Amino acid sequence: MADLNPGKQAPITVKTRREGDTPVVSLSGELDLSNTERVRSQVDDALAGGSDRLVFELSGLEFMDSSGIALLAAAAQRVRAVEIRDPPATVRRLLELTGLTEILRIVS
Amino acid sequence: MALMRQLDAGRVDPAGPSPGRGRSAARGAAVAVLVTGLLITAVLAVVTLRGHQRTETKLLALQSRLIADAGEAEDQLYVQDHLGAAASLAAATNGNIATFRKTVSTSVTAKGPFITGSLWRLSGSSPQLVTAVGARPLLAPASARAAAVIRQAAASKTFVVSEIEAPHELRLGLAAAASGPDGTFVVYAEQPLTADRRISEPANSPVALLNLAVYLGRVQSSAALLESDSAAPLPLRGTTFTSRIRFGNTFLTITTSPRSSLSGATGVVLPWAIAIGGLLLTLLAALLTERLTRGRAGAERLAGEIRQLYVEQRSVAETLQGALLPQKLPDIPGMQIAVRYLPGATGVDIGGDWYDVVPVDEGRFVFIIGDVSGRGVRAAAVMASLQFAGRAHALDGHPPATILDRLARSLDLDRDGHFATVLCGLADVSAHEVLLANAGHLPPLLRSGGEARLVTIKSGTPIGMRGSSTRARAEVTTGAGDVLIAYTDGLVERRGEILDTGLERLQKVASRDFSSLDDMLSGIVTELSGDEPADDIALIGLQWLI
């Protein structure tokens, strides 16, 4: 939306699987304003089963902006616990500096 | 973005081509196509027509020669066979009447080819009629003309031909001579011609396709006309072919012209088909060209308008952003305050960065810097409401942590789709103290005694997220000349780089020597933002003068 070409999205791959009852959403690529809506709808699908936990697997995430933070934080408002697994240093630091570590559990 | 740069550099005419230009260009192109098409059509039609005419002429000549050759052989033989043979026999038999009658019995009949025949003896200079068979000749035997014809035949090496005319009747008089031991004998015969000189050829005749006119002699005069199958007026006009064949002591002139196309209907139709087809195709092409050119001009115009709209929208967005930010910073005694705001270069959407400075009472003021997530008008609306609410809470005299708590009540990420990182500070100018509270924002930078460092403060939970209930706080003590700088993440964030790298870069630049606070902010922005910041950058600098 921020780009002149609305069809141009940052590259991102979203994979969803389950560990028991807990949905695990794996993100690799870049998460920014251009593609958060698409990722959000897939997170919604993952949560449709009614789990109270959610895991984001971020080891393949190369970039995330504040829209990505909003996505993670919004998920944290909807379930009891959100776990961020293996975030790269850039993403981890961003989460720390924006105070997300207080509402998300980071596991490396 | 590339387009934006072009626009900014003024290389693109945002208005695009004018409608008038488009229309005249379309007309010009259509006319060019029309003229070219018509020229090609005309040339093709003429070339085809010429070709057809040449073919017609050749075919006509060919057919005419065939007819003439056939006629020559046929007529010569016919006359020689019958009249010549009869004359030779008469010469050999000394004009035996019975022999003569028997000889011409097959050729002189009521049905022709000769309707009357006579045998003449030439002794001395006066011809004598030996005998006559068949109908009465038009050439009276006792006439001087008859004597002249007989004498002429006797003197000629070949048969002689004369036209014998009477009212309502026309005959061809033919005379052949032969000499024997007893003198010279001449056989004279008359061949009837139709009075109107018209003949009809059977449809399967080789000449059925042609108009044919046969003249006796070399001249095509109506008097000399022997026969014609043409309904057309004579002499024949248009494409004609004339040939002459020897006929006794004279000639037959045969003139032909085609009744219809000799090479078939295609040859006639083709030039017209090419002309009409070419004309239609040309008109169609011209029409299409006009449409397409006009369509393209329209598309270009539309693109120009879109570009214009884009520029206007972008400008509206920036104007709105500018209007939401404080137009003038309050004058705080003992403080130097400066700000910078740089809109991000990404598209038309406005960002959600803001800053504010609110005097609380004598010697104290609140400053706020914040960043609403996302972009666009909704983000700007959230930013505006947070700014106004923050200002109101500050004026009510609340400390920074309380201001943030209250702001947190007005925004909900789930409901509003946005969250905000906000740093709020309450500065006491003369006490050189600053109380800070943070909601997810990057730590401010303090330059003290020529050295810049980040203020140690926890980030806290951003506004709009449910999290820990206690706000992250810190207290900073400043000295005269010290500078506190708060900023939004656009200043230090770079794609693919850990935030700490940007923060270190900021500290390094802020540690340099600057002549003034303005100079310092400009230096920082120039150094860190690059030519084209992707995200918005807001920056507020506070310097203690006392």
A81 touches chain B (CB under 8 A): no
Q: Please give, rounded to a whole number of angstroms, the shortest distance from the CA of A80 to a CA of chain B.
A: 12
Is there a contact between B536 and B379 (Cβ–Cβ < 8 Å)?
no
A45 touches chain B (CB under 8 A): no
Task: Find where tokens 């100018």 sit.
Answer: B429
Q: Is residue B143 scored above 50 in pLDDT?
A: yes
Give the type of residue at B152: Q
At B191, give phi and psi (nearest 5°): -115, 125
Contacts of A100 in chain B (CB under 8 A): 440, 462, 465
The maximal CA–CA distance of chain B, rounded, in angstroms, is 174
Q: How far apart are CA B219 and CA A89, in angstroms?
A: 117
CB under 8 A, 24+ apart: contacts of B356-361? B356/B326, B356/B387, B356/B390, B356/B391, B356/B394, B357/B326, B357/B329, B357/B330, B357/B332, B357/B540, B358/B330, B358/B390, B358/B391, B358/B394, B358/B395, B359/B330, B359/B332, B360/B394, B360/B395, B360/B397, B360/B426, B361/B397
Is there a contact between B146 and B139 (Cβ–Cβ < 8 Å)?
yes
Q: Specify the length of chain B in residues.
A: 546
Q: Is residue A102 scored above 90 in pLDDT?
A: no
State whether ipTM is beyond 0.85.
no
Q: How far apart are CA B366 and CA B437, in angstroms?
A: 11
Summarize the confidence of residues B263-274 as an average pLDDT: 80
- Compute the mean pLDDT over every residue in chain B, rounded to the nearest whole number: 84
Interface with chain A: mutation pick from B436, B499, B536, highest number of A CBs within 10 Å: B499
B457 touches chain A (CB under 8 A): no
Of B507, B482, B481, B503, give the one whose Cα is nearest residue B492: B503
B377 touches chain A (CB under 8 A): no
Question: What is the 3-class SS of B262-281, one letter each residue?
Answer: CCCHHHHHHHHHHHHHHHHH
pLDDT of res. B22: 57
Q: Please give, rounded to a whole number of angstroms, the shortest distance from the CA of A101 to a CA of chain B.
A: 9
pLDDT of res. B206: 63
Cα B169 → chain centroid: 71
| Nearest-by-Cβ selection for A90 from B417, B438, B498 | B498
Q: How far apart are CA A44 and CA B267, in angstroms?
A: 78
| Position B178 confidence tier, pLDDT thresholds 50, 70, 90 | confident
Q: Is residue B201 scored above 90 in pLDDT?
A: no
Of B380, B330, B317, give the one whose Cα is nearest residue B354: B380
B310 touches chain A (CB under 8 A): yes
Helices B377-395, B265-324: inter-axial angle, 10-degree rounding: 10
Tokens of A15: 């994979």
Lowest mean pLDDT among A31-45, B356-370, B416-430, B445-459: A31-45
Contact flag A99-B373 (C-beta cutoff 8 Å): no
Contacts of B500 in chain A (CB under 8 A): 93
Q: Is residue B513 scored above 80 in pLDDT?
A: yes
Q: How far apart are CA B63 and CA B445, in angstroms?
A: 112
Nearest chain A residue to B442, by CA = A97
Of B525, B335, B500, give the one whose Cα is nearest residue B434: B335
pLDDT of res. B347: 62
> Which residues have CB under 8 Å from A78's CB, separation 6+?
A47, B414
Q: Is residue B147 scored above 70 in pLDDT?
A: yes
Distances (CA, A) of B182 to B91, B132, B176, B261, B410: 7, 20, 17, 58, 155
Q: Is residue B435 scored above 80 in pLDDT?
A: yes
A105 touches chain B (CB under 8 A): no
Summarize the confidence of residues A51-67 as an average pLDDT: 90
Contact flag A1-B419 (C-beta cutoff 8 Å): no
pLDDT over 70 for what percent of chain B?
A: 89
Q: Is residue B518 scored above 50 in pLDDT?
A: yes
Summarize the confidence of residues B47-66 as an average pLDDT: 83
Nearest chain A residue to B500, by CA = A93
Task: Find where tokens 């005379």 sit.
Answer: B175
| Position B446 confidence tier, pLDDT thresholds 50, 70, 90 | very high
| Nearest-by-Cβ selection for B462 from A33, A96, A98 | A98
Q: How far apart are CA B255 and CA B257, in angstroms?
A: 7
Q: Is residue B296 scored above 60 in pLDDT?
A: yes
Tokens of B474: 């810190």
Summarize the confidence of residues B340-355 as an average pLDDT: 80
> Which residues have CB under 8 Å from B442's CB, separation 6+?
A97, B421, B423, B487, B488, B489, B492, B499, B503
Interface with chain A: mutation pick from B12, B459, B535, B536, highest number of A CBs within 10 Å: B459
| Position B133 confidence tier, pLDDT thresholds 50, 70, 90 | confident
Q: Please give, rounded to a whole number of angstroms, the shortest distance from the CA of B344 to a CA of chain A.
A: 10
Summarize the confidence of residues B509-535 as an average pLDDT: 89
Q: Which residue has the higher pLDDT, B137 or B223?
A: B137
pLDDT of res. B16: 44
Give B491's DSSP letter: G
Contact flag B375-A33 (C-beta cutoff 8 Å): yes
Q: Please give, rounded to a whole number of angstroms, the shortest distance from the CA of A66 to a CA of chain B.
A: 6
pLDDT of res. B538: 92
